[in-house]
Amino acid sequence: MIELKDIYKIYGDGEGEIRALDGVSLNISGGEFVAIVGQSGSGKSTCMNIIGCLDVPTSGTYRLNGTDVSTMKDDELAAVRNKMIGFIFQQYNLIPKLTVKENVELPLIYRGMPAKERAKRAMEALEMVGLADRCTKMPSMLSGGQQQRVSIARALAGNPSLLLADEPTGALDSKTGREVLEFLKKLNEQGNTIVMITHDNEIAKEAKRIVRIQDGKIISDEKGRE
Amino acid sequence: MGIKQAFSLALKSLMTSKMRSFLTMLGIIIGVAAVIILVSLVNGFKSDMLTTFEDMGLNLINVNIFARGSNRQVDVEDMYEFAEENSDYIEYISPTVTVQAAPKFGTDTAESTSITGVNEDYVYIQNYELTSGRFLQYMDVQTRQKSCVIGSYLAEEYFDGNPVGQSFKINGSQFDVVGVLEEQADSTEGSADDCIYIPYTLARTLSRMGTVSSYIVYARDKELVDPTITLIKNYLYGIFSSDSAYRVMALAQIVDTVNELMGTLTVILVGIAGISLLVGGIGIMNIMLVSVTERTREIGIRKSIGAKRSAIMSQFVVEAATTSAIGGIIGIVLGIVASIVVCRLMGIGVSISVLSIIVAFGVSAGIGIMFGYFPASKASKLNPIEALRHD
Ligand SMILES: Nc1ncnc2c1ncn2[C@@H]1O[C@H](COP(=O)(O)OP(=O)(O)OP(=O)(O)O)[C@@H](O)[C@H]1O
Ligand SMILES: [Mg+2]
């Protein structure tokens, strides 16, 4: 489903150039749960930005579900993100002045879905994360763990082919972090493809597959728990 | 994203900071209200003025003859004869002879009184009403009777409101008051009520003018004013063989001039109010730019979950337009209320122009779109990665 081939991402040029990604090739199939692990500055976020179609590589090709997205323009990438990718951020990134339900509806709005269907889908997604009863609350009225679950609901609402989580437990205490992690595992068991970025080996171990990255290169690719 | 959603989103974001939204709108509110107030003031003033002229008579034509020193002359009999021949057009004609003199009431001298020599028809020409006595009559004029009709100011000031039968002096000759005109203005010194009408036959002597050089003509109908002017001009040209020897002008032409003047005034005033709208627009742009910066992260979130440029763009443009349009509506309400109050206070008719309301609203919404465009386009071009990192 994800095919990265010889991906380079180079910032700056000449002497001062930084190879944030230095020839990365990686294939991820549907239904996998992959953790991308590495130290700070190793290129994890850069990698995730490219997988998430927020950015395009300097060179190399990236096929997502068979389509080459590495040369797409802004608006085309936006459409791909909207349909195929659900983001789960470290900082939840909910919009504070919208209610929980409106936040979850947001990707569907940009898809142009009619209001009725949108509301139904959003409620379904909120039920999955067990927060349907909070749908009219503002995000600021929820705990960190709950907010992260709302952001998972938002990612799920659009029924994407890929869930992309960037340090999803980074802002949570270890207990709540666990819960979120367990939830991601459950989603994976239900058939969702998940790519999780983390610097924490303990968390990475929970994934089915662990990809280690250092200085923009993949240094190992191994199986995790099973 | 539909326009309806963009609109409700915009309202929501305006409601979250009411004070700021209000201050942002203030420029637009003031601008729109000013346009409406100024236009209705000028309109009210104009229509009042026109009614005044209408009262004075749009049928009136002034004729002035400058043929001094020329060996050709037109005397009153010639003009009467001409009017008689053209009675299909001309209903009344009266000479108007201005006398430069200060009348003496006992020991008091009135300095600002206007003394005019006219004939018996003048009362119909000007549509005057009398509060007591009668106007000058044919016999007064023909027999050079020293009778006169005076305005309400003089009647009040010098005769305690009861002047008929009493007398005063002009240049030493004694005149008897035969009638008092109804109040025209406010019965003050120098106003239209500070006047004396005497037979033109006497006025000619008093002013030491051999011939009468100005007339007032009353056309049978407003529609006949223009052909009548042509008739009079042709007649006078036939006598003087020069068109600089006379001037024939309708009062209606003065109305046109006033209209033109008011038009210019409106443009200037509305232009000034327009500057306020422009300033309001810049205020909106400023706040929208601040808002884009403040909401960089929100924009990043929206973009990351799939908002296209156009969606972000329309969100911010609609927000700016909504701010401005709401300001416009408040301004319209304020403008209407203030127009009514100001017009009442100034004692002129209230006439609020619907056009000015429509234009003011359109312009304010347009300004929102125009000045919202730049901040919105800036927002739509933000890089989602950088925007997400923003705090
Ligand atoms: N916009 C940019 N301009 C220049 N250099 C950049 C940019 N973004 C990232 N880099 C550089 O690329 C390298 C990889 O950065 P990246 O953000 O991917 O690291 P990371 O693994 O996510 O680190 P962390 O765990 O601290 O988030 C770093 O050296 C970083 O300085
Ligand atoms: Mg990072």
ipTM for the whole complex: 0.93
- Compute the distance between CA of residue A80 and CA of residue B110 in angstroms, rounded to an integer: 95
Name the closest-CA residue to atom 25, ligand 1: A40
State the smallest CA–CA distance between residue A26 and chain B in angstroms. 22
As given in the structure block, the two tokens for residue B328 are 């416009």
What is the pLDDT, as a whole number, of residue B367?
86
User: Do A97 and B16 make contact, defined as CB atoms within 8 angstroms?
Assistant: yes
Cα-based angle B24, B297, A161 (whole degrees, multiple of 5): 135
List all residues 6 or more positions away from A30 whose beta carbon is below 8 Å from its beta carbon: A1, A161, A193
pLDDT tens column, B233-254: 999 998 888 888 888 988 777 7
Q: How far is the CA of B296 from the centre of ligand 1 (A)?
A: 20
As given in the structure block, the two tokens for residue A214 are 């250092």
> What is the edge-to-edge ordering of all strands in the sheet holding B214-219?
B90-95, B214-219, B60-65, B246-250
As given in the structure block, the two tokens for residue B353 are 């122009």
- State whether the beta carbon of A95 lies less than 6 angstroms from ligand 1: no
User: Do B304 and A93 make contact, defined as CB atoms within 8 angstroms?
Assistant: yes
What is the pLDDT, as a whole number, of residue A20?
93
User: Do A97 and B12 make contact, defined as CB atoms within 8 angstroms?
Assistant: yes
State the smallest CA–CA distance between residue A226 and chain B in angstroms. 32
pLDDT tens column, B130-145: 999 999 999 999 999 9
What is the pLDDT, as a whole number, of residue A226?
61
Which segments in chain B show pLDDT lower than 50?
Answer: none
Of B368, B298, B367, the residue nearest A96 (C-alpha): B298
- β partners of residue B98: B116
For a mutational test of ligand 1's pocket, the pick from A13, A40, A46, A91, i.e. the residue with the most ligand atoms closer than 8 A to its C-beta, is: A46
> Which of B:329-348 have CB within 8 Å of A?
none
Which residues on chain A are in Cβ contact (under 8 Å) with B301?
A: 93-95
- State whether the beta carbon of A190 lies less than 6 angstroms from ligand 1: no
**Ligand 1 atom index nearest CA of A38:** 21
- What's at B202, amino acid-wise? L
Write out the DSSP string of chain A: -EEEEEEEEEES-GGG-EEEEEEEEEEE-TT-EEEEE--TTSSHHHHHHHHTTSS--SEEEEEETTEE-TT--HHHHHHHHHHHEEEE-TT----TTS-HHHHHHHHHHHTT--HHHHHHHHHHHHHHTT-GGGTTS-GGGS-HHHHHHHHHHHHHHT--SEEEEESTTTTS-HHHHHHHHHHHHHHHHTT-EEEEEES-HHHHTTSSEEEEEETTEEEEEEE---
Q: Contact A157/A135 with Cβ under 8 angstroms?
A: no
What is the pLDDT, as a whole number, of residue B55?
67
Q: Is B247 exposed, middle or buried (0-12, 13-18, 19+ CB in 10 A)?
A: middle
What is the pLDDT, as a whole number, of residue B137?
94
State the smallest CA–CA distance between residue A78 and chain B in angstroms. 4
Q: What is the mean pLDDT of each run of 10 residues along chain A (226 residues)?
A: 93 88 94 93 92 92 92 92 92 91 93 92 93 93 92 92 90 86 91 92 91 94 80
Q: How far is the CA of A41 from the centre of ligand 2 (A)?
A: 7
Which residues on chain A are in Cβ contact (under 8 Å) with B300?
A: 93
- State whether the beta carbon of A18 lies less than 6 angstroms from ligand 1: yes
